[in-house]
Structure 1
Amino acid sequence: MPLLTLLRHGTPTDLPPLLIVHGLFGSARNWGAIAKRMSDSREVIAVDMRNHANSFWDGDHSYAAMAADLAAVIAAEGHPMDVLGHSMGGKAAMVLALTRPAQVQRLVVADIAPVAYPHSQNHLIAAMRGLDLSGVDSRSEADRRLSASVQDPGVRAFLLQSLDLKATPPRWRLNLDTLERHMDQTTGWIDDSALTPFDKPALFLTGALSDYVKPTDRAHIRALFPQAKMAKIPGAGHWLHAEKPREFEAALRVFLGPPAA
């Protein structure tokens, strides 16, 4: 299996490199601002997950496969890393930490819990698949057309980052068929009953306006991640890193900064 496509920022330092793992329909580029700012003190590597952006397409989109992809990236780098994952990427990062703990120094999980969710995002796949791309030569025109099926301008802007307007004809840089087929797995969770807890530092960072991590999820989080710390970013929803980037960055620096002398 090929390695995931990487975007590198900064150079190696005494601090562990930071591996950033995006969420469903996202890409490494979505994390460019955070990655560049965090790279002032360490190397930062953001990945395109399988079936997304510039990484390979595959019929398997399970969390076991995604965690194996991340493990291969870390193995190729030759040393353990700090790992930050958001939403789907947060679940993949949790599975990595639980199944290959030697590869993860510290874990940051952004606005997701190790639980199954009842919602589906297949309506967004239907909207992307149904978008008439004939004659589209600008993102603004694509946005106008997509507004007929996706009302939230923020969600449209996020989805349209995965539209390749330079291709002929324009195309989505997402394996929509596989993502749709595996949606229940993506919104679901693994059987973690036999896994050994990840007994290293972990931060579960949530948006105060998001309902993705509920108070009832905390017991299970602490069972799997005994050293877990919980923090909320005021005024942020599910896309907390995009909505409150400075506050998100500050929380990362507190947790991932140099260890006390």
Structure 2
Amino acid sequence: MELLHSRIIGEGRPLLILHGFLGMSDNWKTLGNLYAKNGFQVHLIDQRNHGKSFHSENFDYETLANDLKSYMANHNIPKANLIGHSMGGKTAMQFACSNPKLVEKLIVADIAPKYYPPHHSEIINGLVALNLETIASRSEADNALASHISNMGIRQFLLKNLYWVEKGKLGLRFNLPVLQYKMEEIGENISSTATFTGETLFLRGDKSEYILQNDFDTIKIHFPKATISTISNAGHWLHAENPKEFFSKTLDFLNR
């Protein structure tokens, strides 16, 4: 049984944080340190096929939720608070619905319990086109990606995954060959009958279209105790775009 890679910081109440698609635990380092200073033992987790975790052909939300269950058992965590962003939010929702007794409170960042059609194709195409045999630096990789992805913030987010496999040879941390074929799975919904009756907070960016007004009823069906709140001046990467408000709202909810 392979275990997820994580970075654990702080002491106190367990708080597990799950990154989004093509992200990694490192994306949450700054916020993780803040939660750790406020009485939490923070687990920044790399989901399978991402970051420093293992690669596998199997990739769907039930599998990702089971990875989390094994992780908690291995770390002797009887119950935890969960934060999941985007794809990580879907994993967190699936996990909470399947294992309600293991979840203290659930925070879902900018994703709804619904199906999303694949919409990352230009990102995937840009990454597939990267020739890491000939690219010798991060700036060369950025230039190559720029012809596919104009948004510099997204390029920087993706390029955090670049690392030196060996001297002079760059590689990507995520498992691109599998993820490019699992685009349908990334958009998949949790089961139509799945429910979690514990305390839940949904956060959405005011400039994001991932959680719409007409998703509120669906959220309440799956998560009857859900509170839905909006982060100002933020798109889909709300925790990075307005970390101050994100931190304040989440800490308030966790301590309530």
With the shorter chain as reference, the TM-score category is over 0.9
Which whole-Å CA distance do the structure 2 matches of 1:77 and 1:105 have between them?
Answer: 16
**CA displacement at 1:135 relative to structure 2:** 4.4
Answer whether contact 1:198 1:224 (CA < 8 A) is retained.
Answer: yes
Match for residue 172 of structure 2? 172
Match for residue 61 of structure 1? 59
Which whole-Å CA distance do the structure 1 matches of 2:152 and 2:248 have between them?
Answer: 27
**CA displacement at 1:134 relative to structure 2:** 3.8
Confirm or deny that 1:162 pairs with 2:179. no
Answer whether contact 1:138 1:165 (CA < 8 A) is retained.
Answer: no
Query: What SS does structure 1 have at the residue aligned with 2:208?
Result: coil
Question: Residues 136-166 of structure 1: CA distance to partner in whole angstroms, max 9, x if unpaired?
Answer: 3332222122111111101100110111135
Aligned residues: 253
Question: Residues 183-236 of structure 1: CA distance to partner in whole angstroms, max 9, x if unpaired?
Answer: 10111213322x3x2111000011010000011111111111111001101110
Q: What's the RMSD between the two structures over aligned residues?
A: 1.3
Which whole-Å CA distance do the structure 1 matches of 2:17 and 2:160 have between them?
Answer: 18
TM-score, normalised to structure 1, is 0.93
Alignment of 1:1-261 (within 5 A): 1-11=1-11, 13=12, 16-40=13-37, 41-78=39-76, 79-167=78-166, 168-193=168-193, 195=194, 197-257=195-255, 259=256
Which whole-Å CA distance do the structure 2 matches of 1:151 and 1:123 have between them?
Answer: 10
Which whole-Å CA distance do the structure 1 matches of 2:67 and 2:122 have between them?
Answer: 27
Structure 2 alignment gaps of length 5 or more: none
Which whole-Å CA distance do the structure 1 matches of 2:121 and 2:51 have between them?
Answer: 18
Amino acid in the other structure paired with 1:164 = Y
Query: What SS does structure 2 have at the residue aligned with 1:61?
Result: coil
Aligned-pair identity in percent equals 37
**CA displacement at 1:131 relative to structure 2:** 1.1
Query: What SS does structure 2 have at the residue aligned with 1:170?
Result: strand
Which whole-Å CA distance do the structure 1 matches of 2:215 and 2:6 have between them?
Answer: 32
TM-score, normalised to structure 2, is 0.95
**CA displacement at 1:29 relative to structure 2:** 0.4
